[in-house]
Chain A
Amino acid sequence: MRNTFRKMLATPYALFMALFVILPIILIAVYAFVDSEGAFTLLGNFKELTKEKSLVNVIKNSVIAGLSTSLICLLIGYPIAYYLTKKEFNRTGVIIGLFLVPMWVNFLLRMMSTKAVFNVLGIPLGMGTVIYGLCYEFLPFMIMPIYTTLLKIDKMYLEGAEDLGATPVKAFWKVTVPLSLPGVLSGLTMVIIPSITTFAVSEILSDNKIKLLGDFIYNLKAYNLNMASAISLVLMVLLAVSMLITNKFSDGEQGGGIW
């Protein structure tokens, strides 16, 4: 009796999951393999995709923007996360707060004001400004997972390394960095996927000159839901594969990222 009641408590969540998580995925999968008339087609939509001349360019832009954004975010974010874990830099948690506050400001507003700043400074809009905007937008997503893994690393490992003859710099590279890799990997996935699928940033900060995968899907949607589903499916598969790789890397490691 009590057991059935307990199981009943899960019903709203199960319903929510079914309606808003599982059903949409199924719909995407269905749409991806169905043409505009509703007839089944195995590779029709994917073939259509290859006919789109702009797609090559879009993928190229996405790869460049995604990779450089995540790399820049890593280069900036890792040292920030590292110093935030040091008590003397982040005694009250105010500084970590300062890095997160920009996330509270509406991001469209942030992008438009960034564009205005570029215009005032006379900087031409293009790939550079898009990457700038993406880094601005996604830096906190890099800092947070790295920060949490670094925080979890026991100080005794560093003491152990120093005891065995490692200078603090060596200890950092040989102990801290490898032990924080899971955080780095989840930071990278958290930056790279959204940055290539976002559309407003590139649209605003390049005056529609540079199109990323997000813009491509956004523009497709208007006239071809099936093709949009197909490309989304490809992205989802890519995401799943990258997650698998991430998990492989972080297997057996202590700590772990946000995922």
Chain B
Amino acid sequence: MEEKKTNGKAEYIIELKDLTKIYDGKTVVDHINLKIKRGEFVTLLGPSGCGKTTTLRMIAGFERPEEGTITLEGKDIAELPPYKRPVNTVFQKYALFPHLNVYKNIAFGLKLKKVEVTKKNIFGKEITRLVNMAYMPVEQKVTKKDGSEVVKTVPFCRSYQMMTVTTKKGIKKLKKVNMYKKFIDDKVKHALKIVGLSGYEDRDVNSLSGGQQQRVAIARAIVNEPQILLLDEPLGALDLKMRQEMQLELKDMHKKLGITFIYVTHDQEEALTMSDTVVVMKDGVICQEGTPIEIYNEPTSAYVADFIGESNILDGVMPEDKKVLFAGAEFECVDTGFAPNEEVDVVIRPEDWVIKREGNGILNGEITGCMFRGVHYEMTCMAGGYELILHNTVEYKPGRKIGLYVDPENIQIMHKEHVNNTLPVRFTSNTTFDLCGGTYEFSPAACFDNCEYDEENDVLKINGEEIALKGKEAKVSFEFDSIDMNDDEYASPLAGNVESMIYKGKNYLVDIKTDDNRHIYADTEYLWDKGDRVGITIEKDKFTFSDCDFIAKEGFTYTGEEKNA
């Protein structure tokens, strides 16, 4: 994107630094850092509960952050009340005042507008004060009775000019026009023109359709010429056709007005269509930030790839640079900089698969399902034990054997966010430990290196030294596939709620949130629903322990990984 610099002003209009919001002990927005360029159209995108609306409300001033700063034009506004901020909001439910008509709704902000006025006080000292624009002193020519003209200073709301106006009957007349009223009138009419509602001034807001109300809400915000316009899922309540039309119009308005837009939505298509920059959020943190094309083509995590559009997300291994193994075949790719044999997530968009004759591709597969989706056919294909989704304009019937090829540039490779589960534990005996409030059994001989365990006498020896584990603390690691999920939470030591799940072609990777807000990831063949309560059972010899300060370092070799904080 081209770098804009206007009149020597800073490139970034607003900067969020370490912004944090906590509700009832729950961190909703977690140390967010974001810089927004002047005149940009930025979209905060994420599922409900990801903290996007809270972030917007902190910028608007309705929520006070627990931590962090919001710097607007070099000034920290985090503690300012909403009415002192040069930003305006378009609310999801419009929030038009039901007791005022369209005109008065739009003029509401204008009539409250304050301007700086420098005045001499009684001691002759100049003071600058904020006064309502209606009382701003202006010069007024007054014709006296004898015909001579004098210039007087009057409040703006009482200044007037002689003007030719056309009456309702079409007669031109010279009339005294109140300049303040005319000023507001012109602004309101201009705003209504921008949103395409000229002539609606006297309408009752309750008599308008959803789309029209939305337009009035936009007019009411932009009429104040805010430095930033905040839009909180403004199209959420509209039907599809209307929404698509408004998307284009909003984009157009953004171009015309040149105001910075910060837009919140959960609709990925909306975000991709309208924005200059998309910020994908999850659990109060920013996952990825970039242009719509970057976000779509180069997602940096499986989560983003899954959230934005359809995709095949598969487990892979990179044996060396520019080579990746997945679905039982070796593909060429363009990515470098991964550790040898690093486990990675591979993302391939359904439309990027090139379907060839069997044997001519890199991977062979069999079509298992085919659905007509308008522009293309959506097909499922079993290849190398994985279920893949393909989009193609040519129909391939189920049962057809095909070869699959992907252009190296279309393979997106990402570091895995989590390779295994690593969590802190406290031992409660030589064979049990407490994990997130659940008591798990483990077999010491299988889980510790150089370990002997005498079951009858409950004697544990590690590296030849006798140790009583009770009360000791350490970290435990276990693989995703060592977990057994079941729907009887009382039959398992620990239970949690399913937060999200990603289909990996063979199985689902499920993110389970325990009651003490820790995440446990599990592989499962079964489809669970978001919010499902599940029990977590783990086989007793699948644990590895690390950070065991109580074990003499000598000879202790640790095999687990410590990526998951």
Chain A positions within 8 Å of B, measured between CB atoms, are 154, 156-157, 159-168, 170, 174-175, 178-179, 181, 252-254
Chain A residue nearest to B85 in the complex (CB): A163
Interface residues in B75-94 (C-beta closer than 8 Å to A): 81-83, 87-89, 91, 93
What separation, in Å, do the CA atoms of A62 and B326 have in the docked complex? 92
B60 touching A175, Cβ below 8 Å: no
B114 touching A165, Cβ below 8 Å: yes
B109 touching A165, Cβ below 8 Å: yes
State how many angstroms separate the Cβ of B216 from the closest Cβ of chain A.
Answer: 12
B215 at the A interface (CB under 8 A) = no
Interface-located stretch among B16-24, B95-103, B376-384, B495-503: B95-103
State how many angstroms separate the Cβ of B130 from the closest Cβ of chain A.
Answer: 11
Chain B residue nearest to A160 in the complex (CB): B95
Contact of A159 among B87, B91, B112, B221 (CB under 8 A): B91
B88 touching A163, Cβ below 8 Å: yes
Please name 23 pairs of A and B residues whose Cβ atoms are closer than 8 Å in the assembled complex, sorted by A. A154-B93, A154-B95, A156-B93, A156-B95, A157-B95, A157-B98, A160-B91, A160-B95, A160-B96, A162-B81, A162-B83, A163-B82, A163-B87, A164-B83, A164-B88, A165-B112, A165-B224, A167-B83, A174-B108, A178-B99, A179-B97, A179-B99, A181-B99
What separation, in Å, do the CA atoms of A154 and B98 have in the docked complex? 11
State how many angstroms separate the Cβ of A8 from the closest Cβ of chain B.
Answer: 40
A165 touching B113, Cβ below 8 Å: yes
B206 at the A interface (CB under 8 A) = yes
A159 touching B204, Cβ below 8 Å: no
Interface residues in B422-461 (C-beta closer than 8 Å to A): none
With a CB–CB cut-off of 8 A, which chain A residues contact B109? 164-165
A252 touching B112, Cβ below 8 Å: no
B220 touching A164, Cβ below 8 Å: yes
Chain A residue nearest to B89 in the complex (CB): A163
With a CB–CB cut-off of 8 A, which chain B residues contact A254? 98
State how many angstroms separate the Cβ of B94 from the closest Cβ of chain A.
Answer: 9
Given contact pairs A156-B91, A159-B82, A170 touches B97 in the complex (Cβ within 8 A)? no
With a CB–CB cut-off of 8 A, which chain B residues contact A160? 89, 91, 95-97
State how many angstroms separate the Cβ of A91 from the closest Cβ of chain B.
Answer: 16
**What 6 A-B pairs are tightest by C-beta distance, nearest first?**
A164-B109, A160-B95, A165-B112, A156-B95, A162-B82, A178-B99
What separation, in Å, do the CA atoms of A179 and B96 have in the docked complex? 12
B97 touching A252, Cβ below 8 Å: no
What separation, in Å, do the CA atoms of A252 and B91 have in the docked complex? 22
B98 touching A253, Cβ below 8 Å: yes
Given contact pairs A157-B95, A159-B91, A160-B97, A252 touches B206 in the complex (Cβ within 8 A)? yes
Contact of A253 among B60, B96, B99 (CB under 8 A): B99
With a CB–CB cut-off of 8 A, which chain B residues contact A179? 97-99
With a CB–CB cut-off of 8 A, which chain A residues contact B206? 252
B550 at the A interface (CB under 8 A) = no
Of the candidates B82, B204, B224, the one having the most CB atoms from chain A within 10 angstroms of its own CB is: B82
With a CB–CB cut-off of 8 A, which chain A residues contact B93? 154, 156
B62 at the A interface (CB under 8 A) = yes
State how many angstroms separate the Cβ of A36 from the closest Cβ of chain B.
Answer: 52
With a CB–CB cut-off of 8 A, which chain B residues contact A159? 62, 82, 89, 91, 95
Chain B positions within 8 Å of A, measured between CB atoms, are 60-62, 81-83, 87-89, 91, 93, 95-99, 108-109, 112-114, 204, 206, 220-221, 224
State how many angstroms separate the Cβ of A95 from the closest Cβ of chain B.
Answer: 24
With a CB–CB cut-off of 8 A, which chain A residues contact B62? 159, 162-163
With a CB–CB cut-off of 8 A, which chain A residues contact B108? 161, 164, 166, 174
With a CB–CB cut-off of 8 A, which chain B residues contact A162? 61-62, 81-83
Given contact pairs A159-B91, A252-B204, A170 touches B112 in the complex (Cβ within 8 A)? yes
State how many angstroms separate the Cβ of B441 from the closest Cβ of chain A.
Answer: 46
State how many angstroms separate the Cβ of A164 from the closest Cβ of chain B.
Answer: 4
With a CB–CB cut-off of 8 A, which chain B residues contact A154? 93, 95
Given contact pairs A157-B97, A175-B97, A164 touches B112 in the complex (Cβ within 8 A)? yes
What separation, in Å, do the CA atoms of A252 and B98 have in the docked complex? 8
What separation, in Å, do the CA atoms of A196 and B99 have in the docked complex? 32
What separation, in Å, do the CA atoms of A157 and B96 have in the docked complex? 7
B60 touching A163, Cβ below 8 Å: yes
State how many angstroms separate the Cβ of A5 from the closest Cβ of chain B.
Answer: 41
With a CB–CB cut-off of 8 A, which chain A residues contact B112? 164-166, 170
Chain B residue nearest to A175 in the complex (CB): B97
What separation, in Å, do the CA atoms of A181 and B100 have in the docked complex? 13
State how many angstroms separate the Cβ of B81 from the closest Cβ of chain A.
Answer: 7
What separation, in Å, do the CA atoms of A65 and B224 have in the docked complex? 48
State how many angstroms separate the Cβ of B332 from the closest Cβ of chain A.
Answer: 53
State how many angstroms separate the Cβ of A177 from the closest Cβ of chain B.
Answer: 10
State how many angstroms separate the Cβ of B432 from the closest Cβ of chain A.
Answer: 44
With a CB–CB cut-off of 8 A, which chain B residues contact A161? 97, 108
State how many angstroms separate the Cβ of A50 from the closest Cβ of chain B.
Answer: 43
What separation, in Å, do the CA atoms of A167 and B114 have in the docked complex? 12
With a CB–CB cut-off of 8 A, which chain B residues contact A167? 81, 83
What separation, in Å, do the CA atoms of A166 and B95 have in the docked complex? 14
With a CB–CB cut-off of 8 A, which chain A residues contact B204? 252
Known A165-B114, A167-B81, A254-B98; further 7 A-B contacts with Cβ < 8 A: A159-B82, A160-B96, A160-B97, A161-B108, A164-B224, A165-B109, A170-B112
What separation, in Å, do the CA atoms of A94 and B442 have in the docked complex? 54
What separation, in Å, do the CA atoms of A163 and B60 have in the docked complex? 7
What separation, in Å, do the CA atoms of A174 and B62 have in the docked complex? 19
Of the candidates B88, B95, B112, B221, the one having the most CB atoms from chain A within 10 angstroms of its own CB is: B95
What separation, in Å, do the CA atoms of A181 and B60 have in the docked complex? 29
Chain B residue nearest to A159 in the complex (CB): B62
Of the candidates A156, A168, A178, A181, the one having the most CB atoms from chain B within 10 angstroms of its own CB is: A156
Chain A residue nearest to B220 in the complex (CB): A164
What separation, in Å, do the CA atoms of A154 and B114 have in the docked complex? 27
Chain A residue nearest to B60 in the complex (CB): A163
What separation, in Å, do the CA atoms of A15 and B116 have in the docked complex? 71
What separation, in Å, do the CA atoms of A228 and B232 have in the docked complex? 62
What separation, in Å, do the CA atoms of A94 and B203 have in the docked complex? 43
A165 touching B83, Cβ below 8 Å: yes
With a CB–CB cut-off of 8 A, which chain B residues contact A166? 83, 108, 112
State how many angstroms separate the Cβ of B212 from the closest Cβ of chain A.
Answer: 17
